[in-house]
Amino acid sequence: MANFNKVILLGNLTRDPQLSYTPSQTAVVDFGIATNRRWTGQDGQQREEVCFVDCKAFGKAAENINKYCKKGRPLMLEGRLTFDSWTGQDGVKKSKLRVTVESFQFLPAGGRGGEQSGAAGDESQAPSEDGGSANEAQSGSKDDIPF
């Protein structure tokens, strides 16, 4: 039987990213993202549910997320589910699912994924495949982000 493990999320960061490095000096960033689902119940009342997801990215993607993202910022990501298990300090076995980010795209701060700042096809403002922008080296601060 074939296997398939792909996750696509669009939501807002629930906390500032936390950057660390592996012993081999690979960047790792942990962050959370929240997605909302709205619907109308059988009673006609508007309802909303929020799903909180822990995420992890590696390498250049981790460095870019850490550099340009903060709590509340919208982000679209694609990745795979990863199962983590460990034994807690109390001796109880614990586990959780997390999304390991394979690619991502920065979104405008307004959170509307369909709108892009800048002209269509302008590669100087488009995020690259690793999640960075083509002109990120020219950016001096987070206020200078070109998207």
**Tens of pLDDT along 31-78?**
999 999 999 999 999 999 999 999 999 999 999 999 999 999 999 999
Q: Where are the domains of the chain?
A: 7-116
**Tens of pLDDT along 93-145?**
999 999 999 999 999 986 444 433 332 233 333 344 444 443 333 334 445 55
* pTM, to two decimals: 0.71
Give the Cα separation of 111 and 114 in Å (integer). 9
What is the β-pairing status of strands 27-40 and 46-58? antiparallel
CATH code, residues 7-116: 2.40.50.140
Three-state SS across 70-94? CCCCEEEEEEEEEEEEEECCCCCEE
